[in-house]
Amino acid sequence: MEFCPDCKSMMMPSEGVLVCRRCGKRVEMKRGDRLVSKTEQKERTMTVIEDSEGAGLPTTRYRCPECGNDTAYWWLRQLRSADESEVRFFRCTKCNFTWREYD
């Protein structure tokens, strides 16, 4: 990716030269510059793990209010306005009961 030397905007290829989208400056493409088109990008696959809902979540020692188990998965979410603290969610590793904790 090239950026305009004058205005620092992204330059786009056009007929063998790079053209600034903001100021229109034209720059010769350097030897060895390679453009990647969408057709050249390799397709990626995503694996979804449904069997273990908590896979990949960190755990902590926290007592479940439902079953008394002492291990829970945890994660943070910003539910209120950005100037307020995040909400901590917990999910029991034994019974899957989910609860939240506020600051």
Residue 6 bears catalytic tag = no
Q: What is the 3-state secondary structure (H, E, C) of the chain?
A: CCECCCCCCEEEEECCEEEECCCCCEEECCCCCCCCCHHHCCCCCCCCCCCCCCCCCCEEECCCCCCCCCEEEEEEECCCCCCCCCEEEEEECCCCCEEEECC
Residue 51 bears catalytic tag = no
Which residue is associated with the tokens 């034994």? 94
Which residue is catalytic, options 33, 53, 66, 84? 84
Which residue is catalytic, options 43, 83, 101, 103? 83
What residues are annotated to the active site? 83-84
